[in-house]
């Protein structure tokens, strides 16, 4: 079983005394986009406080990408606005 590790926002970048919390990736409350079809090529998201976890729906025990909530909003809004070379949804 994978765990999602989140470092405390009070921890510094110098690798010193840090506090990390582990959440089971199975208990994270993953959701799939309503735009996902039946092809299985989907991303799943889990909101974990100020962090958004992203994983491949086909590899639920695989790696997880953690993005700050603000970073995720900027990415999502960029996709909606067609800012990455794609068309707007």
DSSP state of 27: S
Whole-number pLDDT of residue 65: 86
Does the residue 18 lie in any domain? yes
Does the residue 89 lie in any domain? no
Neighbours of 18 (CB within 10 A): 12
* Number of compact structural domains in the chain: 1
Decide if 22 contacts 5 (C-beta within 8 A).
Answer: yes
Q: What is the pLDDT of residues 60-83, one digit of tens each?
A: 777 888 888 899 889 888 888 887
Does the residue 88 lie in any domain? no
Report the distance separating Cα 57 and Cα 33, nearest Å: 11
Structure tokens that stand for 55 in this block:
């994983």
Q: Can you give the residue range of the structural domain that contains 61?
A: 3-80
pTM for this entry: 0.60
- Identify any residues that bridge with 44 across adjacent strands, giving them in sequence order: 32, 55
Q: What is the pLDDT of residues 6-63, one digit of tens each?
A: 666 666 666 566 666 666 555 568 888 777 767 767 888 888 778 888 888 888 777 8
Does the residue 87 lie in any domain? no
Does the residue 45 lie in any domain? yes
Does the residue 71 lie in any domain? yes
């Amino acid at each position: 079983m994978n765990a999602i590790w989140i470092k405390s926002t009070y921890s510094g970048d110098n690798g010193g005394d840090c506090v990390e919390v582990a959440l089971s990736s199975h208990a994270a409350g993953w959701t799939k986009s309503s735009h996902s079809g039946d092809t299985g090529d989907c991303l799943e998201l889990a909101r974990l406080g100020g962090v958004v976890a992203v994983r491949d729906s086909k590899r639920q025990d695989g790696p997880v990408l953690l993005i700050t909530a603000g970073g995720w909003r900027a990415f999502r809004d960029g996709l909606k606005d067609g800012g990455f070379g794609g068309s707007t949804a």
